[in-house]
């Protein structure tokens, strides 16, 4: 005998203990850093949305796709951290790099005079331009 699936579904007994939830809302309480909340709320206001809308959409996305957005996955977070660490390392490397490079090539001695402020740099830049101008004139 063939089963008519529609018939089966129509006549199936309703499960007890599982209330109908569609259309019914519930409240969620989450704990977040206070400063983070203030700053986040500011951004949401600026974009014309609010925490309820954002949370509803996030839950909708999770249910619809069966996954979490990329920015919430451990891999994405790890990639962002790695990228930040790489840039910080580059920043540490470039700090004072010109002096190290000239010393490595024995163009400068390690104990020579180095500028310590932007005012000195401005004056040096002007004098450096003069040095360059003299060299060009000699050529």
Partner 1 sequence: MSVQTKKTALVDKDVWLALCLDLGEQAAEAYRFLDGALGVIDLLVTTTCLQEVWSDLCHVLRHVVVQEGGVVDDRVEALITSIAWDCISFVREVSIVVSSGARDATLADVLRDQHADYSDALLVATAQGCSASCIVSFKESLHECLPVRCLTPYEASIAFNL
Which residues here bind partner 1, judged by CB under 8 A?
35, 39, 43, 46-48, 80, 83-84, 87-88, 90-91, 93-99, 101-102, 105, 107-109, 112-118, 120-121, 124-129, 131-132, 135
Smallest gap from Cβ 32 to partner 1, in A, equals: 15
Among the listed residues 50, 55, 27, the one whose alpha carbon sits nearest the alpha carbon of residue 40:
50
- Start-to-end CA distance of the chain, whole Å, equals 104
Q: In the complex with partner 1, which residue's Cβ is closer, 39 or 57?
A: 39
Q: In the complex with partner 1, which residue's Cβ is closer, 6 or 109?
A: 109
Q: In the complex with partner 1, which residue's Cβ is closer, 62 or 77?
A: 77
Smallest gap from Cβ 123 to partner 1, in A, equals: 9
Smallest gap from Cβ 93 to partner 1, in A, equals: 8
Using alpha carbons, list the distances in angstroms from residue 129 to 93, 98, 123, 136: 27, 18, 10, 10
Using alpha carbons, list the distances in angstroms from residue 113 to 92, 101, 104, 109, 122: 22, 15, 16, 9, 16
Residue pair 57/49 in contact (Cβ under 8 Å)? The answer is no
Q: In the complex with partner 1, which residue's Cβ is closer, 73 or 114?
A: 114
């Amino acid at each position: 005998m063939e089963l008519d699936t529609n018939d089966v579904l129509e006549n199936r007994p309703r499960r007890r203990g599982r209330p109908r939830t569609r259309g019914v809302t519930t409240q969620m309480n989450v704990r977040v850093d206070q400063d983070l909340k203030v700053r986040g709320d500011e951004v949401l206001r600026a974009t014309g949305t609010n925490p309820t809308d954002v949370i509803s959409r996030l839950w909708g996305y999770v249910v619809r796709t069966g996954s979490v957005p990329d920015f919430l996955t451990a891999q994405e977070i790890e990639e962002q951290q790695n990228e930040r660490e790489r840039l910080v390392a580059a920043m540490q490397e470039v700090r004072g790099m010109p002096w190290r490079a000239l010393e490595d090539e024995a163009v400068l001695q390690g104990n020579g005079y180095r500028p310590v402020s932007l005012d000195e740099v401005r004056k040096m830049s002007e004098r450096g331009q003069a040095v360059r101008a003299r060299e060009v004139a000699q050529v």
